[in-house]
């Protein structure tokens, strides 16, 4: 993000509106230019050029026709403007994403694709993606997600009544027992819209729907008209379990099949058109393996080094094996404030609850056999698995998914209003 003082460097280039075409200097080198001034920053022509190239490449791979260049450039420029506005707000709030957090996010992406973290640069390069640019974009995406959670998410509450109603609605509901791949077109309504503005938005929604029914490609209509966050990707919302489907879509999806497109749906601040790209039955019951665990933690500090922490646990382990009570040793020795007074009890734990080293030790431990001292990021531990079970967590998942679904529906609506307010309050001078 460029600060205001940087604008002078682009003054000559930004003096008049320009097209998104490459300009050459006398030496044959490409010059950059300003596409838009946004408060104290700018959107550069090079940013537009990169985004347009990526969208066109992806569209070509998918066989998707894009709107005319002027319309597409307008969509891309508006997205970049909105991103710049949010990045400046994040900067004012002092938000940042550490390298450790970024690396963890990349590790998760690598794991989801069954590739090692170290191979990511090479794999991305095969798709023509620069690794440094990938890291920059992902860091930006995480930061903007943090910003939305701070500005919008913290004000969203989910009540017990809403959860109970959601579960009741989903019981026996075909949508809840299915898995969907959806695409979606979002047409916003101005905040405090007049009757004429509402009628105009509804008319546009009906026109877009009619074009789709007459054979227009849904993805192309999304790129051209949608203001949703995935508009330039054809409106794809990806794959989701039925219980994760936004509440607004549940009723209409009841009678829809693969390939169907909904009539425009009215929400508080927008109209939506939904397409079912894929539909299949989902597993109705869920079971997970759980372990009941207790542990003793000794944390190194200015007085106790790693060797001393480990030695204290070895001494405690010897006492327990000689007949002393594990719970009493935990109360005397453990530095874990949440479990020490409970005799080290952590209760029933599902996979993914603890640090990786802790998880591996649980997996490798026999019931009733105390582990040797081992280290995690929190310090040194010994642990004992006291029981194992296969737990039916279907009802837990229903509640968790309902909470996610309700929050997601509220978040979408509130985020759209929040983004529009940011846009209305910002100074934007488009130079294209």
CATH classification of the domain holding 378: 3.10.50.40
Indicate whether 130 and 194 sit together in one domain. no
Indicate whether 264 and 404 sit together in one domain. yes
Indicate whether 137 and 63 sit together in one domain. yes
**Domain end among 120, 151, 182:** 151
The predicted-structure confidence for 29-57, as pLDDT tens digits, reads as follows 445 799 999 999 999 999 999 889 888 98
Indicate whether 46 and 189 sit together in one domain. no
Contact 317, 344 (CB under 8 A): no
Contact 239, 181 (CB under 8 A): yes
**Domain end among 151, 181, 199:** 151
pLDDT of residue 318: 96
Record the tokens describing residue 303, joined without a space: 């007085």
pLDDT band, residue 7 (cuts 50/70/90): very low
Indicate whether 169 and 123 sit together in one domain. no
Indicate whether 40 and 189 sit together in one domain. no
* CATH number of the domain that residue 78 is part of: 1.10.4030.10
Indicate whether 121 and 187 sit together in one domain. no
The predicted-structure confidence for 280-310, as pLDDT tens digits, reads as follows 865 456 789 999 999 999 999 989 999 999 9
Average pLDDT, the chain: 87
- The model's pTM is 0.56
Indicate whether 387 and 414 sit together in one domain. no
Contact 149, 107 (CB under 8 A): no
Contact 410, 156 (CB under 8 A): yes
Q: Please choose, from the candidates 18, 26, 67, the residue with its C-alpha nearest in 3D space to the C-alpha of residue 46.
A: 18
Indicate whether 196 and 58 sit together in one domain. no
Based on the structure, what is the number of domains in the chain? 3
pLDDT (mean) for 62-69: 86
Indicate whether 415 and 363 sit together in one domain. no
Q: Does residue 22 surpass a pLDDT of 60?
A: no
| pLDDT above 70: percentage of residues in the chain | 91
**Domain end among 94, 120, 151:** 151
SS (H, E, C) 253-311: HCCCCCCCECCCEEECCEEEEEEEEEEEECCCCCEEEEEEEEEEEECCCCCCCHHHHHH
Indicate whether 345 and 381 sit together in one domain. yes
pLDDT of residue 31: 59
pLDDT (mean) for 381-388: 97
Which residues span the domain enclosing 294? 287-392
Q: Does residue 1 surpass a pLDDT of 80?
A: no
Indicate whether 60 and 17 sit together in one domain. yes
pLDDT band, residue 14 (cuts 50/70/90): very low
């Amino acid at each position: 993000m460029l600060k205001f003082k940087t604008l002078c460097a682009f003054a000559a280039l930004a003096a008049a509106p320009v097209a998104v075409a490459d300009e050459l200097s006398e030496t044959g080198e490409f010059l950059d230019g300003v596409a838009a001034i946004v408060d104290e920053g700018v959107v550069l022509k090079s940013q537009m050029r990169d985004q347009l190239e990526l969208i066109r490449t992806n569209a070509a791979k998918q066989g998707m026709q894009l709107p005319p260049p002027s319309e597409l450039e307008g969509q891309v420029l508006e997205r970049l403007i909105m991103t710049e506005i949010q990045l400046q707000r994040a900067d004012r709030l002092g938000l940042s994403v550490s390298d450790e957090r970024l690396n963890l996010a990349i590790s998760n992406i690598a794991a989801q694709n069954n590739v090692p973290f170290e191979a990511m640069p090479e794999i991305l390069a095969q798709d023509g993606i620069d690794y440094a640019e990938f890291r920059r974009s992902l860091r930006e995406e995480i930061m903007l997600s943090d910003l939305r959670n701070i500005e919008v998410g913290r004000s969203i509450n989910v009540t017990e009544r809403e959860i109970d109603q959601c579960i009741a609605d989903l019981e026996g509901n075909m949508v809840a027992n299915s898995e969907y791949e959806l695409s979606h077109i979002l047409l916003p309504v101005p905040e405090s819209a007049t009757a004429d503005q509402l009628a105009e938005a509804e008319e546009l929604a009906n026109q877009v729907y009619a074009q789709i029914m007459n054979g227009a490609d849904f993805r192309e209509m999304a790129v051209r008209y949608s203001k949703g966050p995935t508009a330039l990707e054809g409106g794809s919302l990806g794959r989701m379990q039925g219980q994760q489907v936004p509440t607004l879509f549940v009723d209409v999806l009841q009678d829809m099949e693969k390939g169907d497109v909904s009539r425009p749906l009215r929400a508080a601040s927008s109209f939506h058109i939904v397409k079912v790209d894929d539909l299949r039955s989902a597993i109705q019951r869920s079971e997970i393996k759980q372990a009941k665990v207790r542990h003793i933690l000794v944390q190194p500090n200015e007085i106790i080094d790693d060797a001393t922490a480990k030695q204290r646990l070895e001494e405690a382990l010897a006492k327990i094996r000689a007949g002393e009570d594990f719970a009493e040793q935990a109360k005397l020795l453990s530095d874990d404030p949440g479990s020490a007074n409970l005799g080290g009890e952590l209760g029933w734990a599902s996979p993914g609850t603890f640090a990786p080293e802790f998880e591996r030790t649980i997996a490798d431990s026999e019931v009733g056999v105390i582990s040797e001292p081992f280290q995690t990021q929190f310090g040194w531990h010994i642990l004992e698995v006291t029981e194992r079970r296969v737990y039916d967590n279907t009802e837990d998942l229903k509640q968790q998914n309902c909470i996610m679904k309700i929050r997601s529906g509220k978040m979408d609506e509130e985020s759209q209003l929040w983004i529009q307010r940011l846009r209305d309050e910002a100074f934007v001078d488009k130079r294209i």
